[in-house]
Amino acid sequence: MNVTQVLSQTEICQSCTIRNRAICADLHADEIVLLNSIGRHRTLTAGEQLLWEGEDAVLVGNVVEGLLKLSTGTSEGREQIVGLAYPGDFVGRPFGGTDPYGVEALAETRMCVFRRQDFDAFAREHPRLEHKLLERTLTELDRTRRWMLLLGRMDAEQKLATFLLDMVERLSGAPGLNPELTGGNTVPAFALPIGRQQIADVLGLTIETVSRHFTRLKKDGILDLPSRREVAILDRAALQDRAG
Amino acid sequence: MNVTQVLSQTEICQSCTIRNRAICADLHADEIVLLNSIGRHRTLTAGEQLLWEGEDAVLVGNVVEGLLKLSTGTSEGREQIVGLAYPGDFVGRPFGGTDPYGVEALAETRMCVFRRQDFDAFAREHPRLEHKLLERTLTELDRTRRWMLLLGRMDAEQKLATFLLDMVERLSGAPGLNPELTGGNTVPAFALPIGRQQIADVLGLTIETVSRHFTRLKKDGILDLPSRREVAILDRAALQDRAG
DNA sequence: CGACTCTTTGAGTTGCTTCAAAAGCGGTGG
DNA sequence: CCACCGCTTTTGAAGCAACTCAAAGAGTCG
């Protein structure tokens, strides 16, 4: 490996859009170079599957841009989305034998992936990285447990309202998005990254129920739905009320 | 600190019943001594609350013996149990500001607790501990996400059947319990550590629905219910079928 | 302009919840 | 030992939210 390569590899991470939000945030320059040498970039097309539930865990990685869904299903074929991975999020199962759920791209997604073995070895030698990963995993566990309250104890309207508020919050953290998404009582129209069926799969509902409640929230003047893939929040306070 | 103290402190952990299952498992003798010096033992009575949702995270710890519930509730007062902590499990929120859910003892519970600040500092200096905690957190996240499938996509019978099978598996990992709990197609009567209402709060159901399905499974010859707090599985295969 | 997919709307059914009351169990004291 | 009390669990009846099944409407793409 010559110096030019090293520099250019460093550059790749330095200019990375998620450099400060992903688990690599606290690494030193020399560590970044090392990590870069075991990783590679990969682009998934919408609908492409990255990991399969129950298969050997061979890959882990960071989402750079795009959106992934993590999901499992019952034997009868009902699907439950157990998480969405936005830019900066880590996916895959380090230190484990098999991937516990499937991972599929919902939109064209750029990633930074590692062979799991390589990543595990690197992580064990770099406590700063393990620490970041631990913090991220703890946060994700908290978020997942909060979602259990939604799945177990909320009615359809509360679920949908909570989902929309959560999505706005998540999207406004992403780069290049309107910071107005967080301000006042109305939120300008933004693009929903997923369709009705997948919203249903996140909320543990059917597509019909999701659709009916979208319609109701629109009729009640809380939402506007300029197109199927766009939502505007006309009255955030009212939506928060509906979220319970 | 004199040698006698050190030895006796080491002894405490060495004889600990969860020594090989908790996050301290991989620590060296000298690390154990240090960890011991910042921890203390505490016994909770049944019903006693250890942590409150939304409060400053001041404590973390390991369950040595007993059972804790982790739970949140909606503003309307509906409760959702988001996890149960058995012996060997870690509870509390390291590296974070506030406890994301309440923690309460369901039975008399012995714990080994640490001030969160002390624990955080210790963990950062001992990567082996952080690694164990990371592995445990990853496993817990997997378990929690599998539970989302239950909450979002299963009907009441599937939920109860899955719960019972899961509980038998968890209990049989605990010390001093009949190893027969894992063997064949029938499982001898064992004590349910929680009542019907709490089972309902785990499964996202009402107590009446839980009770009805217990009765149905008994009528169908799959379970026996010698008393309210005891269950025997007469036909594990059938129960697994019902779990979906 | 059709063919396809996704979404919305409608009608009817079901399973879980709610509300109410009875039954079971454990503990305490007469 | 039994009677009584409080608490948990079971059972019953009625209501309703979400589901299923079915079809029409909207949007997208060749």
CATH code for A154-242? 1.10.10.10
Query: Which of B50, B94, B93, B55 is closest to B68 using CA atoms?
Result: B50
Residue B60: which pLDDT band, with cuts at 50, 70 and 90?
Answer: very high
Residues of each domain in chain B carrying CATH 2.60.120.10:
3-149
Q: Decide if pLDDT at B15 tops 90.
A: no
**pLDDT of res. B97:** 85
User: Which CATH fold topology does A3-149 show?
Assistant: Jelly Rolls (2.60.120)
Cβ neighbors of B124 (< 8 A, separation 6 or more) are A131, B130
Q: Are A215 and A175 in contact (CB under 8 A)?
A: no
The pLDDT, as a whole number, for residue A172 is 79
Which of the pair, B41 or B174, is modelled with greater confidence?
A: B41
Residues in B lying within 8 Å of A, measured between beta carbons: 70, 72-76, 78-80, 82-83, 93-96, 100-101, 124, 127, 130-131, 133-135, 137-142, 144-149, 151-154, 158, 203-204, 244
Q: Which part of chain B is CATH 1.10.10.10?
A: 154-243
pLDDT of amino acid B173: 67
> Burial, A146: exposed, middle or buried (Cβ in 10 Å; 0-12, 13-18, 19+)?
middle
> In which residue ranges of chain A is pLDDT below 50?
1-7, 175-176
Residue A202 and residue A81 in contact, taking contact as beta carbons nearer than 8 Å: yes
Q: Which residues pair with B56 in a beta bridge?
A: B98
Residue A155 Cβ under 7 A from any strand D atom = yes
Query: What is the Cα–Cα distance from A143 to A10, expressed in whole angstroms?
Result: 33
Domain B154-243: CATH class, spelled out: mainly alpha
Q: Distance (Å) from CA B228 to C1' C24?
A: 10
The rounded mean pLDDT for chain A is 91
Contact call for B204 and A127, based on CB within 8 A: no
